[in-house]
Amino acid sequence: AHGFAPLPVSTTPPQTTTTTTALAASQVKVAAVATTAAVVAGTAAVKFVFDRPSRTYSNATVNENTVAQEYDAWADDGILEYYWGEHIHLGYYSQEEMERGYKKKDFIQAKYDFIDEMMKFGGIDKDANQPVKVLDVGCGFGGTSRYLAKNLGDQSHVTGITLSPKQVERGTELAQEQGVAERTKFQVMDALNMDFEDNSFDIVWACESGEHMPDKKKYIDEMMRVLKPGGTFVMACWSQRDDKEVPFSKKDKRDLQYLYEEWTHPYFISVQDFKTLIDNTGMMNEVTTANWVDETIASWRHSIWVGVFDPRGWITKPRKYTKTFRDAYCLERMHRAFKRGLMEYGMWTATKQAAPETSTSSSTE
């Protein structure tokens, strides 16, 4: 019989699966590279745009970049009040709270803690319950004014001034809601040209308003003028570091210029420069200063995280997205500036010198 040799059986696996897998892997790599490139390019584009300040300070009477217009806009959109509550200032974080993690602290409570600590710094006894008249310079929504009125007792009265009509309106509403309308008053007034008589207030309180003042000397002079002899002055203000010994680098100047222009600040000065202005009035006793950067720096990033954890305050307002993201970007830039020592959180307190005794002379004939 004749037979046929069997055909050889191939032991090589099919190439189709291997080729397909390799192609898919290659496509994934290409997609990953493209995605990374897009993210990098997008980030660079956003950074380029956000690094260009959009709200340069203007002291014109009608201008969208005036301090009054800026704070009116914040009052209208409601985002700032949603997250920051009644207080447009940084919060206070103890060393223990920082070690535990600042995000574990209630963001709003940190602001009340700041007020309490600022009162202690100024030697203000909130349990004294004495008849005191307080001026809150740059009062915002009036949160601090109302808190002081509640804590200083029924005999106290707090006047808050701001350039923003919207803030006056909102502050007055909240005072009525909280039952302190009779012991608080909110007015639109320029802190550089106050209508009050000399020696009108027992306490002059200024928290984070000096940053917006185009004339720092006049700002200090006016507050000292309306403070009563023996009265207490206490101020908190973002400050740039003193550059007398170590001049600002080009990067320092660029960073400061951004911080000036994004949130309508004309310029900052140092803690020492403010102290000199206070001393030069010749009205005050010894001035005590401090740098609270360690106690307040957590506020910058904490304010970003509260918006991430609870987006309800801004997610329903698409027209405010750009402004909201700009604000978040500026908060991060602020954090970095304070972290590296370009900025400091200045604190000042002093009492006004007693009025000189007037001597009367009489003559006898």
Query: What's the pTM?
Result: 0.82
Per-residue pLDDT of 103-130, as tens digits, reads: 999 999 999 999 999 999 999 998 888 8
Q: Which residues are CB-contacts of 220 (< 8 A; sequence separation ≥ 6)?
A: 274, 277, 278, 281
Q: Does domain 67-351 have CATH number 3.40.50.150?
A: yes
Number of neighbours of residue 255 by Cβ within 10 angstroms: 20
Query: With bands split at pLDDT 50, 70 and 90, how would you rate the model's confidence at 54?
Result: low
pLDDT score of 237: 98
Handedness of CA 311, 72, 264, 323 (dihedral sign): positive
- The DSSP output letter for 205 is E
Domain ranges in the chain? Answer: 67-351
Per-residue pLDDT of 290-316, as tens digits, reads: 999 999 999 999 999 999 998 888 898
Has residue 241 got a pLDDT over 70? yes
- The least confident of 67-76, 174-183, 184-193, 313-322 is 67-76
pLDDT score of 361: 47
Q: Quick one: which of 182, 177, 224 has its CA closest to 204?
A: 224
Q: Would you state the structure tokens that stand for residue 137, as one six-digit string?
A: 């310079």
Using an 8 Å Cβ cutoff, are 333 and 131 in contact?
A: no
Top pLDDT among 14 and 300 is at 300
Say how far apart CA 211 and CA 331 lie, in whole Å. Answer: 15
pLDDT score of 298: 98
pLDDT score of 363: 43
